[in-house]
Chain A
Amino acid sequence: MTSSTSNFEQLRLDGVTRRFGPPDTPAALSELDLTIERGEFIALLGPSGCGKSTALNCLAGLLPLTAGSIWQDDRRVDTLPPEKRGFGMVFQNYALFPHLTVRDNIAFGLRMRNLPKSDVQRRTTEAIEMVQLTEHTSKLPGQLSGGQQQRVAIARATVLEPSLVLMDEPLSNLDAKLRLEMRTEIRRLHQSLGLTTVYVTHDQEEALSMADRLVVMRQGKVQQIGTPEEVHTKPSTWHVADFMGYRNLLPLKASQLNGDQVTVDLGGTAIRGAAQGPVAPGDDVIAAVRPEDVKLADQGVKGLVEVVEYQGRERAVEVVLDGGVQDGVAQDPVRLHVRTERRVEAGEQVALTVTPGRLLVYPS
């Protein structure tokens, strides 16, 4: 370990808060508590403006905290300037130095540490080989493709063997195919170099496939922290569910309660779901279910096919259910997103069933 900061066992964020503006404005990042273990891959996930990039910049030292502290084992680091923290960072637009060659970009951090020339030379060459840019060492960043620039950015941030690597949506400027390749690449680097990584993204698929743990955020607050599987199968709130691909979020009424089993009325049919919070009979609830967990069947909830999108193996179908009549008032029709392999057409009458146990009921 030649970097100026020693590696850590635990990185602890303690009530990290950042506000842009006077104290009465809502915080961009509100009291984030998070403990990162050495070697972990953490994804900060959420829609734009949720505070995930703010959190990353606070970690990097590019934004001062309004409140809270950051600890590297028992050393406080939030008072250090970015150049003293020894964290590597990959920026969304890569932020490569346009006037320096690929080699000089990657060697920059090593030179700043005043390492012997031979060391700089050797480690830079290793890093260039690792990201497979050997043929491009003397090019300027402007002469590289997006994917190559991305690899330079990763090599530049990791060549210092930093105790923590921060990545701010590094794949968002790449095309879909390259993004998939780079995902694997980053995960492979993380494992082979034994890095600790905090990765910011708004792409749930990216987060699920790469991270050991997910931190889902919304409006500056943490909604859920858990493994990809936990967050994917048991979102803690309907906002998280919305973000994790539960496209059907239906405002319904709870009718019966039996343990944590709730019965809701969907298009005139009683359907059972799992309560994800305090729910009482008669409450307005939000029922969440993924399109792939709603099946076309011979009998079940009746509806009318409105839109069909062909998506290769499957079709994404939008079905309108009759909202029915409640207390003498006609209710708004309910729309359900369904995925099916069956060939259906707009205007067709269909029946739907929900896979048992896959309907989650949240208090609204």
Chain B
Amino acid sequence: MSATWQHRLAERGVDRRLWLLLPATIFVLLLFVYPFLYGLSLSFQPTQGGGVLANYDKFFGDAYQRDTIATTLKIALPAALLNVLAAVPIAFRLRGRFRGKRLLTTILVVPITLGTVLTAQGLLNYLGPTGWLNRVLLSLHIVDNPIRLTNNYWGVFFSLVITGFPFAFLLVLSYLSGIDPTLERAAATLGASRAQRFRRITLPLLAPGLATTFLLTFVLAFSVFPSAVLVGNPAGSTRVISLAAYQAAYEQYDYSYASAIAMVMGAVELVVVAIVLVWRSRLYTGSTGGKG
């Protein structure tokens, strides 16, 4: 290759450093693109025959299956929203430097390392019918019968908050530290009260980050599986869509049908992601003046 050619390619960003992308490309192709396309084509080849879309007809034609979409959204959307909303005031309080910040941040982030199973066990011990909470409430005669907080909707909800909140908190904290604190001071010297400063300056600058955070925690929550079984009611109120896919694949051994359910699951997630991203694209997303 002649020298001028090399210069021309280099101007367009083509040079030998591009080889560095090779491992990641192979990784993505083998572990994401191929299985996805394989599943997609499998979903169009129903085991019992009946045309290309038979699996999808079967899913949407059966209310028991179709309702899993609503069930999952009913758990995942509020949980993701709560995670983001709870993370904002806490991150707001914890930005800047102070003594013990590292310890406090660590405590807030520890649940990430626990894993769903340990969280579920903790929830059963604490919130279960014979758990500490109910025993305290009963002995203080605040309630006459144990309140049900596990093996139903709330068990899964709490589990998603416990595992999802640390993610939301870390993300919001980093978005918030990216906002130049002088902006709020400037707003104060212009007569803005604390609430006005948050509403007019911090929130608009933080909103795109909140959208991203919401999406990440939503996607995590939408694929909920272990806690729906362990602390939920998998036969009823927490029969989530991933459970439907699991049952199709490993109880009925209908991989084709399971693939179709997985595709529906992906499509629903994409719809939510698209809605949030369209909203986000209308916000100011430029520099926020900080170092983050």
Known: A62-B185, A95-B182. A83 touches B286 (CB 8 A): no
Contact of B249 with A by CB under 8 A: no
Name the interface residues of A39-89: CB closer than 8 Å to any CB of B: 60-62, 81-83, 85-89
Which of the candidate stretches A106-114, A176-184, A265-273 sits at the interface with the other chain? A106-114
In the bound complex, residues from chain A placing their C-beta under 8 Å from that of B186 are 89, 91, 95-97
CA distance A244 to B204 in the complex (A): 46
Docked Cα-Cα span, A361 to B188, in Å, equals 47
Is A62 a contact of B183 with CB atoms below 8 Å? no
Taking residues whose C-beta sits less than 8 angstroms from the other chain, chain B's interface range is 20 to 34
- Looking at chain B's contact residues, the main secondary structure is helix
B185 touches A95 (CB 8 A): yes
Q: Enumerate chain B residues within 8 angstroms of A85, measured Cβ to Cβ.
A: 189
**Stretch from B141-149, B158-166, B190-198, B228-236 forming part of the interface with A:** B190-198
In the complex, whether B201 has a CB less than 8 A from a CB of chain A is yes
CB-based contact B180/A95 at 8 Å: yes
Report the minimum CB–CB distance from A168 to chain B (whole Å): 10
Contact of A97 among B187, B188, B191 (CB under 8 A): B187
Query: Do B190 and A98 touch (CB < 8 A)?
Result: no
In the bound complex, do residue A83 and residue B205 qualify as a contact, i.e. CB atoms below 8 Å apart? no
Per the bound structure, the CA–CA distance linking A81 and B186 in Å amounts to 13
Smallest CB-CB separation from B184: which chain A residue? A95
What's the least CB distance linking B104 to chain A, in Å?
A: 22
> Which residues does chain B contribute within 8 Å of A142, judged by CB atoms?
286-287
Please state if A112 and B287 are interface contacts (CB–CB under 8 Å). no
Q: Which residues does chain B contribute within 8 Å of A62, judged by CB atoms?
A: 185, 188-189
A95 touches B289 (CB 8 A): yes
B177 an interface residue at 8 Å Cβ cutoff? Answer: no
CB of B284 within 8 A of chain A? Answer: yes
CA distance A96 to B204 in the complex (A): 14
Residue A4 at the chain B interface, CB threshold 8 Å: yes
Cβ of B288 < 8 Å from any Cβ of A? yes
Q: Is A156 an interface residue (CB 8 A)?
A: yes
Residue in A83, A98, A166 whose beta carbon sits within 8 Å of that of B188 in the complex: A83
Is A160 an interface position by the 8 A CB rule? yes
Measured between beta carbons, the chain A residues less than 8 angstroms from B287 are 98, 142
B201: chain A residues within 8 A (beta carbon): 97
Task: Report which residue of B185, B189, B200, B205 has the largest number of chain A beta carbons within 10 angstroms of its beta carbon.
Answer: B189
Interface contact A91-B191, CB-CB below 8 Å: no
Question: B182 touching A86 by the CB < 8 A rule?
Answer: no
How many Å from the CB of A144 to the closest CB on chain B?
A: 13
A189 at the interface (CB under 8 A from B): no
Chain B interface (Cβ < 8 Å from any Cβ of A): 180, 182-183, 185-193, 196, 200-201, 204-205, 284, 286-289
6 residue pairs A–B, Cβ–Cβ below 8 Å: A62-B185, A82-B188, A83-B189, A83-B193, A93-B289, A98-B288
- The 7 closest A-B CB pairs, nearest first, are A99-B284, A109-B190, A95-B186, A82-B188, A112-B191, A89-B189, A95-B182
